[in-house]
Amino acid sequence: MSGQSKIISLNITQFPQNLLIPDLENNVSIQVVNNSDKPEMFQFAFEGENLGVEVVTDFSKDPVKFAPGETKTIGLMLKPTADGFGKLIINVYLIKNIEYTVKTQKVRNNVPKSMVSEIFEKYNLKSTEVTDPINRDEFVTPTTTEDLLKVEKQLNALKTSYVSIQTMNSTDVESSGDVRIEDIDIIIKKLAKGHLYNKNILKSLELALALSNKKEQIDFYSKLLRAHATQNAEEAIAIVKKLKDTETKQNLYKSIVSDKSETDPIQSLTLIENIDDLILRTKLQLNVVKILKKRGDNFEMIKVMNQIIQFLLKSLNESDEKIIQKHIYEFLIDSMLLLAEIEEPGTVDVILNGINIPIQKEQLKKDIFNNIYEIVEEIRIKSELEGVFSQFFLLNINVSDINNDIKYFCTKGGNLSSNLILKDFNFNIVFVSLFNFSFSVFPIIDRVYNDLNHNSDHSFAYYIFPSTENFQINELSNLKNTLTHFFQNFNNVRDRLIVFNVDFIPYLGTPTIIISGESDLTEKIKSKIGKVSDKINVIIDESLFEGGKISDNLKQIFPSSKCAIINFIFSYEFLNDYNMLKALIQSLC
């Protein structure tokens, strides 16, 4: 066991003491105790070498939460996949939550300072970019249909008189009375205003074009259209669109927008779309936003700002002129700053992240960074794994040549060293334990076996069959068959095989060994043990083993020509002194 921590305890309450074969349920049960006085999260890792490991209780690969002092039980099912030995590896990790600080970019909740007034001031319309609002009443004269007919007759009469006078000589003109072209223009305007009152805009405009002065024609025509647009902007715009002179059209669009901005700013936005001058168009749009702000209409203001920004983004990508691009970009920056203040910086962040051109997106973010974003320190938590428990277990496993005798042997708790399973006869002594005790002999014998096998040149074998029926027919048959199976070729043993028939007796107050067998061997064994420690009491007693049933059976199984059987009894003191037991066995190898 290594890397253990006091924060957790693992107590194995069930562990297979028998040889593991695939057909048996090889169960492991572990009680896990959280020794901490607070809740903890643990990660469990169960691995196997030559061994399948299945977690049969609710312990997944996810971390498991333990309350303070809580105990949970883990169940494992082991399945061997090879011959020899398998390794069960258990690692437990404490999930430690560690706080750390990072600097991160965050969208602001509000802009750091107001820029609305500054931006609106920047885009105030010049006198050349707007016209004074039209006074509709100046271009509409309440007139009945009957009165219109009278005025038309009056106009026709004046026109006739004027034409007649023009054909007479000068003396006749003077005697005919004074009919001036200005008088005709006055009547034309009066009639046009009457038709506008009666919503006959086309007739009204036709009359405007009948004025004697070309400049006055255009001026009066424009004002009639503007006056009409205050009531019916859509019809007025439709008429403007049919005009051939571009300059006249654009001036009319600009004038109609100026007239509608204060009275109906939302409709004026639609009208602004007809203006070709992109810079003027954007300034007029921002002027509408300014008007909406004065009115406190935040909903429409936000809606308009989003429309302006999308229009500018599109225009920026479509324009090839550097100067225009520069103006558009400046408008775009200021529009985004306005929207960030009017609504919130997060709205602008969404727009920025929606831009498909990376270079453009990053440049915009850079230029308005301080107004939209901030660098803040955030406390974050990361989880780290700290190993608090690590242990592995070696188990003897067998998957080949499984017969009924081996199955029975395993169900009785039988076990044997891995070199016997692998038929590796690299030993000349074997410990055979055939008695049933209140404890398992396997753990301590196997520990000595693995220590010597991995850390020295000494090796031995062991075979454990804890009899529960005093070797009645079934047990005796199984003993003979399994020993024969695993020791089927004695010719591979390097020297004469010494078989120690092992038994244990209760404490005698001092470590004691009682042996019997061939006298020359027992003396040699006693001599070897004496060199291990002078604290070990070695007794040779042939009478203690006379007529032993197990000893007799072993003699039948192991041929005397190849094997010598030594009866060997340990007192319990050796179970409590691992180092002494290990040294003793090593001296015999």
Query: For the sheet containing 8-14, what is the strand order?
Result: 8-14, 26-34, 71-80, 51-55
Note whether 104 and 54 are within 8 A (CB): no
* Domains, the chain: 1-110+379-401 (2.60.40.10), 403-589 (3.40.630)
Give the residue-averaged pLDDT of 383-406: 94
Cβ count near 425 (within 10 Å) = 19
The arithmetic mean of pLDDT across residues 384-411, rounded, is 95
How sure is the predictor about 173, in pLDDT bands with cuts at 50, 70 and 90?
A: very low
Confidence of residue 481 (pLDDT cuts 50, 70, 90): very high
26-35, 159-168, 266-275, 338-347: least confident range: 159-168
Residue type, 36: S
Answer yes or no: is pLDDT of 376 > 50. Answer: yes
Write down the pLDDT at residue 133: 83
Please say whether the beta carbons of 366 and 54 come within 8 A: no
Residue 536 has pLDDT above 60, yes or no: yes
Do 8 and 33 meet the contact criterion of CB atoms below 8 Å apart? yes
Largest CA distance in the chain: 181
pLDDT confidence tier of residue 184, bands split at 50, 70 and 90: very high
Question: What is the 8-class DSSP label of residue 490?
Answer: G
Which carries the bigger pLDDT value, residue 40 or residue 519?
40
Q: Is the pLDDT of residue 176 over 50?
A: no
Question: What is the predicted pLDDT for the residue at 177?
Answer: 52
Residues 252-304: tens digit of each pLDDT: 999 999 888 888 888 888 889 899 988 898 999 999 999 999 999 999 999 99
The pLDDT assigned to 517 comes to 85
| pLDDT exceeds 70 at position 1 | no
Among 501, 468, 463, 469, CA closest to 485: 463
More confident residue, 66 or 171: 66
pLDDT at 489 over 80: no
Looking at residue 488, what is its pLDDT?
A: 76
**Confidence band of 548 (pLDDT split at 50, 70, 90):** low
* CA nearest neighbour of 208 among 192, 225, 197: 192
Q: How many helices and strands (H and E) does the chain possess?
A: 22, 15
CA distance linking residue 293 with residue 449, whole number of Å: 91
C-alpha distance from residue 298 to each of 269, 290, 389 (Å): 16, 11, 63
pLDDT at 546: 58
pLDDT band (50, 70, 90) for residue 172: very low
Q: 3-state SS of the chain: helix, strand, coil percent to 5? A: 50, 25, 30
The residues near 476 (Cβ < 8 Å, ≥ 6 apart) are 553
pLDDT of 454: 87
State yes or no: pLDDT of 24 exceeds 90. Answer: yes
Neighbours of 586 (CB within 10 A): 17
pLDDT, position 2: 46
Q: Answer yes or no: is pLDDT of 234 > 70.
A: yes
Q: Is the pLDDT of residue 174 over 50?
A: no
Please state, in angstroms and rounded to a whole number, the distance separating the CA atoms of residues 289 and 83: 85
Query: Average of pLDDT values for 225-249?
Result: 92
Of 276 and 470, the structure prediction assigns the larger pLDDT to 276
Q: Bigger pLDDT: 147 or 61?
A: 147
pLDDT digits 0-9 by tens, 491-519: 666 678 999 999 999 999 999 999 998 88
* Residue 279 token pair: 């810079």
Share of the chain above pLDDT 70, in %: 95
Task: Please name every residue paired with 433 in a beta bridge, in sequence order, or none if there are none.
Answer: 464, 502
Q: What is the pTM of this model?
A: 0.60
* Per-residue pLDDT band at 348 (split at 50, 70, 90): very high
Indicate the range of 183-187, 340-344, 545-549 predicted with least confidence.
545-549
The mean pLDDT value for 466-472 works out to 87
Q: In angstroms, rounded to a whole number, what is the distance separating the alpha carbons of residues 270 and 81?
A: 80
DSSP labels, 542-570: SGGGTT-HHHHHHHHHS-TTTEEEEEEEE
pLDDT of 570 > 70? The answer is yes
User: Which amino acid would we find at residue 504?
Assistant: F
Task: Residue 340: count other Cβ atoms within 10 Å of its Cβ.
Answer: 24
Min mean pLDDT across 81-95, 322-336, 548-562 is at: 548-562
The mean pLDDT value of the chain amounts to 90
